[in-house]
Chains A and B, each alone.
Chain A
Amino acid sequence: MKPANVALAAMALFSTAAGAYPSMIRHGYTQCAACHIDPSGGTLLTKYGRAQSELLLSSRWGAGKEDEPSPRDDFLLGALRTPDSLTLGGWFRYGYIWNTVDGTLVDDRLLQMRGDVAAALRIGPVRAAAQLGYSSPSSAPATELAWVTHNADGVNLVSREHWIGLAFADDTGLVRGGRVYVPFGLRNLEHTSFVRAATRTDIDQDQQDGIAVAIAKESWRMEVMAILGNYSLRPDAFRERGLSGYLEVAPFSRLALGVSALVTRADAALGSKGATLRQAYGVTARASPWKPLVLLAEVDALITTALGNGGASAGHADWLQADVEVLRGVHILSAVEGMKPPGGGPSSLGLWGGAAWFVVPHLDVRADWIRRSTSGSPSTDTFLLQLNGYL
């Protein structure tokens, strides 16, 4: 792989991230809906979720463990009061990245990764949410599937989600339509992991327009979505249509096991340009056998069929991560991942190591080292520092 390509790939790999913490299972939170507006997690925080950020995630700097969270946890540090029916939030994220190929530095630069604001409404059974953000030219490779405007070489508005829905069954269910996060697999932060990239279910730009039904019960949760296409993508032939969903059961308060499936068809696949049927079937596990330790695993079977000539090919993508909270708010992270893409491409192996520190509520710093090796290509090492804030 040419160094320039590595740099471009890295740009795509490490742009924008959101706030999804499936590792909250260490605190007995097997469900997402209490803390997130999206019942499957990863998006705008509820007021309760904001409080958990201080009570459970971040260093507390002298606050007693039974103290109420600070009023500064609210939107814009509490400067703007909102009615209970309105939830506001936002994200900013910057990073600095270094890429090496066979030990030679080929790229280093500052990354503007995310700048979004979001709002959610809750009026009777009606629920609605939307995000609107800024995408710099440098983040285009990881945002263009969510663009509202389409300036190929310039700044763009980006909207990862915008939907309206109805809650039912005492708020345990939600049916909604619009652009939503695709329900599949672990909704992990590492949006560049093989499992997210290969299934095209990352939390940055892989949302789809469609109709989804989610149910969150005490010991299980599920969401299924009829995918009607990504309407940020043009022309229509590129839009994938189909179904996606997951079911996760939690037999214990610190163990959750899930299955996922995704089947979509596009007249012109983004890669091959031919009519393609894409399938992914996955199993997931989240476990916290010891409170400081969380294990997250996902194994996905990938099947791609080129329609018209009958050619089907299979592959897989896998992820195993360990998250150890060594001190309150300080996490050591490591992961191993593998991928064999459908179509006979070379296998890849990835190793991740790093640390994250939730310094104060809604502000964290993270350092990652990622080594990726692909058969027949030089290995790449990436170092990334990130600063992530939630408004």
Chain B
Amino acid sequence: MAARNLLASLLLLSSIAQERAGNVTVLARGPGGLRIEGKSTEVSLAEEASVLLFKVPLAPIDTGIGLRNRHLREALEVEKFPDAMLRVRRADVEFPKERSPVESQVTGELMLHGHSRPVPVHYRAERRDGGLTRIAGSLQLDMREFEIVPPSYLGVAVSPDVEVAIDLTVGSL
């Protein structure tokens, strides 16, 4: 059994596309034009048999204020649900060719806070020198659909609508 698990792990590791650089931006809004931006550089892309799986660990997301990071982790229950994952079927994705970037929309499945919901994802992908591919994607979500209580602090409540943007350069697709 141990050998089988090891083999499975190695297969998964080998299928992870070679990330070179990535960042994730989470944008939430509050009253009076308040804009709260969370950033992380931890994003990975793995390829399963027929899907692309984007994975974002939630704990490292930095909003610029330590206490706000803690509130975010508590709202997302990061200890129970450490990652957000987006699954996109390969068959639904248009892949770029040399000097021919693609920009399109696809429906992915977002797993967050223990719930999965279909979400429209806008993406742009382009081939770069050295066999690299840059992927920029964005999506909008409503926290309530994932049973996340929108954070509220000292009279400032965050709107449930959140924008997420991912920018990732990978070695192969």
Given the interface contacts A46-B154, A46-B155, does A31 sit within 8 Å of B32 by beta carbon? yes
Contact yes or no, A47 B33, CB < 8 A: no
- Most chain A CB within a 10 A radius of its CB, from B29, B67, B156: B67
Minimum CB distance partner of B156 in chain A: A48
Decide yes or no whether B34 CB sits under 8 A from chain A: yes
A253 CA to B63 CA, complexed, in Å? 12
Minimum CB distance partner of A65 in chain B: B66
Q: State which residues 70-98 of A face B: CB under 8 Å.
A: 84
A48 CA to B156 CA, complexed, in Å? 7
Contact yes or no, B154 A28, CB < 8 A: no
Decide yes or no whether B64 CB sits under 8 A from chain A: yes
Q: State which residues 22-36 of B face A: CB under 8 Å.
A: 29-36
Residue in A28, A39, A84 whose beta carbon sits within 8 Å of that of B32 in the complex: A39
Q: State which residues 141-160 of B face A: CB under 8 Å.
A: 153-156
Decide yes or no whether A34 CB sits under 8 A from chain B: yes
Binary interface encoding of chain A residues 10-38 relative to chain B, with 1 for a CB under 8 A from any of its CBs, else 0: 00000000000000000111111110000
CB-defined contacts of A171 to chain B, threshold 8 Å: 31-32
CB-defined contacts of A33 to chain B, threshold 8 Å: 31-34
Decide yes or no whether B65 CB sits under 8 A from chain A: yes
A232 CA to B133 CA, complexed, in Å? 67
Contact yes or no, A28 B64, CB < 8 A: yes
A220 CA to B29 CA, complexed, in Å? 13
Residue in A27, A66, A69, A253 whose beta carbon sits within 8 Å of that of B70 in the complex: A66
Contact yes or no, B154 A31, CB < 8 A: no
Residue in B30, B65, B69 whose beta carbon sits within 8 Å of that of A34 in the complex: B30
Tell me how far the C-beta of A143 lies from the nearest C-beta in chain B, rounded to whole angstroms: 30
Residue in B64, B66, B154 whose beta carbon sits within 8 Å of that of A47 in the complex: B154
Report how many residues on chain A are interfacial, defined by Cβ distance under 8 Å: 33
CB-defined contacts of B37 to chain A, threshold 8 Å: 28, 253
Minimum CB distance partner of B65 in chain A: A55
Minimum CB distance partner of A173 in chain B: B32
Residue in B31, B66, B153 whose beta carbon sits within 8 Å of that of A66 in the complex: B66
Contact yes or no, B67 A66, CB < 8 A: yes
A189 CA to B1 CA, complexed, in Å? 69
Q: State which residues 51-71 of B face A: CB under 8 Å.
A: 64-67, 69-70
CB-defined contacts of B69 to chain A, threshold 8 Å: 66
Tell me how far the C-beta of A34 lies from the nearest C-beta in chain B, rounded to whole angstroms: 4
Given the interface contacts A46-B155, A48-B155, A84-B155, does A34 sit within 8 Å of B34 by beta carbon? yes
- Most chain A CB within a 10 A radius of its CB, from B30, B32, B156: B32
CB-defined contacts of A27 to chain B, threshold 8 Å: 64-65
Contact yes or no, B70 A31, CB < 8 A: no
11 examples of A-B residue contacts, CB within 8 angstroms: A31-B34, A34-B34, A46-B156, A48-B154, A67-B66, A171-B32, A172-B31, A172-B33, A216-B32, A219-B33, A253-B35
